[in-house]
Amino acid sequence: MPSDLAGERRRSTRVRLKVAIEAQGVAEPLTCEGKTEVVNLHGAFISTAVALRVGMTVDIRVVLTGKCARATVVYIDREQPRFCGVALDESQNIWGILLPPDDWTEDDWEGVPE
């Protein structure tokens, strides 16, 4: 089944989590508020106050943790263009999940300072 194949290609488990974020454009003048819908070690599905575009580089700051990470917009929902998928440039748990899934191992946290 296609849905099974899609799940097998995931690099880390998705977690439903609504947390406030701020997105700031890196090469473009943009700052907006938003929230996560689903997160994983490699990115998130988010909603933002302003529509983003595929290929755009943004810095995502999680309000709760104060942690920030650079990400690239990789998906825009055609029906709801303020919902998008972002891929973190470096795998990391910026989301504030204290007990992450088993496959969120430190071996996957490339480039994360200790």
Buried/exposed 17-55: b ≥16 CB within 10 Å, e otherwise: bebebbbeeeeeeeebebebbebbbbbbbbbbeeebeee
CATH domain 2-98 topology: Thrombin, subunit H (2.40.10)
Q: Where are the domains of the chain?
A: 2-98
Take residue 38 and report the two structure tokens written for it. 């689903």
This prediction's pTM: 0.81
32 touches 2 (CB < 8 A): no
H and E: helices and strands count for the chain: 1, 7
Task: Return per-residue pLDDT of the chain as tens, 114 residues.
Answer: 334 444 456 678 888 999 999 999 999 899 999 999 999 999 999 999 999 999 999 999 999 999 999 999 999 999 999 999 999 999 999 998 888 888 887 554 444 433
